[in-house]
Amino acid sequence: MSPVLDTASIPPRDREEVVRQAVWESVVAVDIDHRPPAEDLSVRIGLGSVGPLTICSARATAVTIHRTARLARKDEEPAVFLGLQMTGTSLVVQNGRECLLGPGDFAVYESTAPYTLLFDAGVDHHFLRFPRAALALPERLLRDVSAVPLGADDPVARLAFTYFAQLAASDALHQGAHADAVVEPSVELLRAALASRHGADSLARAPLEATLSLRITRYIREHLAEPDLSAARIAAAHGISVRRLYAVLSRSGITLGDWIRTRRLAECRRELAGPNGRLRTVAAIGRRWGFADATHFSKVFKRAYGMPPRDWRDQHHPRSRT
């Protein structure tokens, strides 16, 4: 994973703030207490993503990280973090528990509750952020397994550590079709490791049904720009029939065609008004978001927003008069 931040090239007086801003914007809002003085502070961070999963690989001097109750309350996208200890040791504290991690161990902790991570001897760690909804595990199970060490004595955890360490380190798995192929296996493997540790396989299955609508709509958002997005493809991706797909969405008050069209139009509207709104033709922007017929695109855009897409773009990007 290529580094996106290396404090070696940053003036000492700016290092703490640059690191804090990078972590807040890319991973999660936390308080960071660096142990060494600014001139000795060293941080090297690489960032990647695999679908909805965020990956942060870090090497750094000693640090303590706090997710305070105030920051946890502000969480708008609940997440579960997986922390892989590569070398050295670290301490994870959450929900009244603390666990010591050594090389080959990992632990999970939730963004919606305060936690503390202590790296007394420096950081050599992979952090993976999973949307909590994607895991589809009960809150009670997640609470019970947070800050619990998972290591070599557990065969499922041992498999998970090897898999996620390779996922974090491999740039090739973060791109295109490779990334699409590993999202679901990654979610399923972490779900299996946590359910196995909890000894509650049945608890892991029931929430899959309860969160099916949420997982379907997330999948649609991720593939919104793809012209072959169809009911058959969406159903196949979730292992259900097309008939059941429509039934699940109907219970949530969603009409599939209208839902997709509304969100595609919103993306077109955003792009047309954005700073690069004139870099493509109106028709090209429509095609980019699944509207193959320019006339049809203009018609449904006007019906939704009261003006043709060209007028909307001109309103935000007036042509200069010479």
CB-based contacts of 277, cutoff 8 Å, min separation 6: 271, 285, 313, 316, 317
pLDDT at 204 over 50: no
pLDDT at 227 over 80: yes
Calculate mean pLDDT across residues 59-76: 92
Taking the model in full, what pTM does it have? 0.63
Taking the CA atoms of residue 82, residue 85, residue 86 and residue 90 in that order, the dihedral angle to the nearest 10 degrees is 150
Query: How far apart are alpha carbons 16 and 32 in whole angstroms?
Result: 8
Q: What is the residue type of 138?
A: P
Query: How far apart are alpha carbons 183 and 165 in whole angstroms?
Result: 15
pLDDT in tens, 257-316: 999 999 999 999 999 998 888 888 999 999 999 998 999 999 999 999 999 999 999 888
Calculate mean pLDDT across residues 194-217: 66
For 109, counting Cβ atoms within 10 Å of its Cβ (0-12 exposed, 13-18 middle, 19+ buried), the class is buried
Percent of the chain exceeding pLDDT 90 equals: 58
pLDDT in tens, 134-155: 888 888 889 999 999 998 788 8
What is the pLDDT, as a whole number, of residue 209? 59
Which is higher by pLDDT, 228 or 84? 84
What is the pLDDT, as a whole number, of residue 322? 44
pLDDT in tens, 105-131: 999 999 999 999 999 999 999 999 999
Q: How many CB atoms lie within 10 A of CB 27?
A: 19
What is the pLDDT, as a whole number, of residue 79? 93
